[in-house]
Every structure is written in structure tokens, then in C-alpha cells.
A and B are shown apart, each in its own frame.
Chain A
Amino acid sequence: MNMSWALVIWLSVGAYAFKMLGFVVVGSRKLPDMLSRCLMLIPAALLAALVFNSSFTDGQSYAIDERAIGLGVSIIAAWRKLPLIVVVILGAATTALLRMA
């Protein structure tokens, strides 16, 4: 595992820098529409990437296994607008049950 305090510190410093950048440094000036439109798309692109990358790859190779089915269940749950914690539990429980089988 590569978890380290360095990650905690850099991520905290970086996250605060971004929050402050818009809030304190740039003040009430306005960003060009095109730029802020792109920035607001970051969550869509990155969250989708995290979902697909972690569900269909194992290290640097492709893998389709129990995770894909757990993901399918959580997609249906999220689409039915169930609360986040329920979506998480359903996805994890499905995968756990399949791994047990």
C-alpha cells in the first residue's frame, strides 16, 4: 500500500489552495463562460472514469468479475434515486455475496 502522510498533507494544501484561489485571490471578477463551463464538467468526467477504471481493470490489465455485477446493481439503485448509503451497501453486498459463492 502506498498510503502516506505526504498524500494527506499535499491533498489538504492543494484543496485549500483551490478553495482560496476562487474565493480570496480572484475575488468578484468573473471567469470566461467557456472556462467555467469546462471546470464544472470535471466531476462528470472524473467520477465516470473512477467508476469504469476501478470496475473493469485489475492493475494494468482488463478484468470482468464480480465487481461488474456489483456495479450494475449500484447503477440501478442510483438511477432509482436511492440514498447514497443504500447504493453503497447494495453494490458492496452484491459483490461480497458473489465472492462468497
Chain B
Amino acid sequence: MKLRIEPEVRPVVTSALALSGAVGVFALAFGVLAVGAGASVWQACALSFFTFTGASQMSAMSVIASGGSVGGALGGALLLAGRNGVYGLALSPYFGESLGKRLLAAHFVIDETTAMMTAQTNPRLQKIAFWTTAIALFSLWNLGTLIGAVLGSSIDPHTYGLDVGFSAAYVAMLFPHLRTVNGRIAAAGGALLSVVLAPFVPIGLPILASGLAIFVGLRPQKEQPDA
């Protein structure tokens, strides 16, 4: 049997698969870093399956890696997860009334699915974009984590510089957020708070406290009147 895909659907599916492939490679890095930070292979896999939001997973594991408590790790990670709530607001109108479908779809509301869905203009393609990205990305994210975690179990994290691997991943994820003035101010403020507070409060708390920098968003927007 030959799989036939309509011409208008093809680019949507292609970009969903390409994006998922890239994210799968990131998952490989997450798997290696998570076991390096002290997680078991199953804990790393459970995070990818049930938490399924990359930046939060990374942040929790790096606080643990630096000796922070579970509470400290949770604070920053949940704050990062908070933005998915905002994505949910944006995507909600695209979905029907079925509560079951909404509860299922909610698990897949992340940066990538939001970006892919909102890039489409026609309702049918929006649905295809969301679900293709959700399924492909979820599969490769979990597969990548498993492979990375198994590989990571056999190497010493300090020797291979994996602690810096975390920071390097954040740097790459941070750059797109520096395109706006507010993004740059929030980043600078967060960085400053996290370093200045470090000697005075328990490990992990400076990360949570850096969240105060988001209140720069309260200042009136002049450069982006349509934002």
C-alpha cells in the first residue's frame, strides 16, 4: 500500500518531522545530562514521558546536579512550565468542545506544537500541524531520552564536561528570547539576581528568585504596539 499525502499537507508534515528530529537529538543530550546529574535511566525516561516540557526537565536536573534540594529544583522548573499555560490560552480556541480530547491535547501543549499550529491559517491544517508535531515529537523525545540515558550511564559527567553541557543547552535555548528589548532586560536581570543571591540563599533559590526579572514586562510597550 502506498501512503498518499495531499500536496497542501505535505509541507506541514515535513516541517513537523524535521523539527521533531532536531528535538530528538536534544533529548539525547537531556538523557545523558540527567543520568549525569544522578537520575536513574527510568527517572530520566519518566520525566520525558510525563513532564514532557524540555526546559523544565533540564532546569530541574541542573539544580539537582549542583546539589540543590527537590524543592529548589521544583520551583524554577514549575515557573518555566508556567508558560505552557499561556500557550494553552492561545491554542484553546482551535480545539472543539470534547473535554476528553482537550485533556489529551493539553499534555502536548509546548513551545514547538504551539509554534507549528499557530503558523497555519486553515483550521484543518492547524489540527494536522498540532497532532503531527505532537506525535512525532513525543515519540522522538522519549526515544532520544532513553538512548541518551543508557549511554550516559557509562560515562563520568565531570570528566566529559557535562555540567557545562547543561549551560550550553540553555544558551542555545536562550538566544531566540533575546530578540526583544524586554527579553534582553529580563535575561540580564535574571542572570544578575542568580549570581548576586548565590552566597546568601540555599542552592536552587537564586534561580527561582530570578523570576522577579519578568516584571519588566509591566513597563509600557512602545517598540511593539501590536504585541
List of B residues within 8 angstroms of A20 by Cβ: 88, 103, 106
Is there an interface contact between B161 and A92, defined as CB atoms closer than 8 Å?
A: yes
Is there an interface contact between B106 and A37, defined as CB atoms closer than 8 Å?
A: no
Given contacts A23-B92, A59-B67, A61-B199, contact A91 B85 (CB under 8 A): no
Is there an interface contact between A15 and B52, defined as CB atoms closer than 8 Å?
A: yes
Q: Which of B4-12, B121-129, B135-143, B214-222 contacts A (4 or more CB under 8 A)?
A: B214-222
List of B residues within 8 angstroms of A92 by Cβ: 160-162, 164-165, 168
Given contacts A2-B69, A8-B46, contact A43 B55 (CB under 8 A): yes
Q: Which residue of A lies closest to B26 (CB)?
A: A84
Q: Within the complex, which residue of A42, A75, A89 is in contact with B214, where a contact is CB–CB below 8 Å? A: A42
Docked Cα-Cα span, A37 to B213, in Å, equals 12
Number of A-B contacts (CB under 8 A): 343
Is there an interface contact between B214 and A55, defined as CB atoms closer than 8 Å?
A: no
User: Does A47 sit within 8 A of B, measured CB to CB?
Assistant: yes
Min CB distance B145 to A, Å, is 13
User: Does B146 sit within 8 A of A, measured CB to CB?
Assistant: no
- Residue interface mask A43-65, B partner, CB < 8 A = 1: 11111111111111101111000
Is there an interface contact between A1 and B43, defined as CB atoms closer than 8 Å?
A: no
Docked Cα-Cα span, A40 to B180, in Å, equals 11
List of B residues within 8 angstroms of A52 by Cβ: 191-192, 194-195
Min CB distance A38 to B, Å, is 4
Question: B residues near A, CB below 8 A?
Answer: 22, 25-26, 28-29, 37-40, 43, 46-47, 50-53, 55-62, 64, 66-70, 73-74, 76-93, 95, 99, 102-103, 105-107, 109-110, 158-175, 177-178, 182-184, 186-195, 198-200, 202-203, 206-207, 210-218, 221, 227
Q: Within the complex, which residue of B46, B62, B93, B161 is in contact with A95, where a contact is CB–CB below 8 Å? A: B161
List of A residues within 8 angstroms of B62 by Cβ: 50, 54
CB<8 Å pairs between A and B, sample of 6: A3-B37, A7-B70, A16-B106, A40-B83, A53-B206, A57-B198
Q: Which residue of A lies closest to B175 (CB)?
A: A78
Is there an interface contact between B167 and A54, defined as CB atoms closer than 8 Å?
A: yes
Docked Cα-Cα span, A83 to B172, in Å, equals 8
List of A residues within 8 angstroms of B103 by Cβ: 20, 24
Given contacts A30-B89, A42-B80, A71-B167, contact A53 B207 (CB under 8 A): yes
Is there an interface contact between B172 and A84, defined as CB atoms closer than 8 Å?
A: yes
Is there an interface contact between A12 and B167, defined as CB atoms closer than 8 Å?
A: no
List of A residues within 8 angstroms of B37 by Cβ: 1, 3
Q: Which residue of B lies closest to A5 (CB)?
A: B43
Is there an interface contact between A53 and B105, defined as CB atoms closer than 8 Å?
A: no
List of A residues within 8 angstroms of B64 by Cβ: 1-3, 7
Is there an interface contact between A47 and B187, defined as CB atoms closer than 8 Å?
A: yes
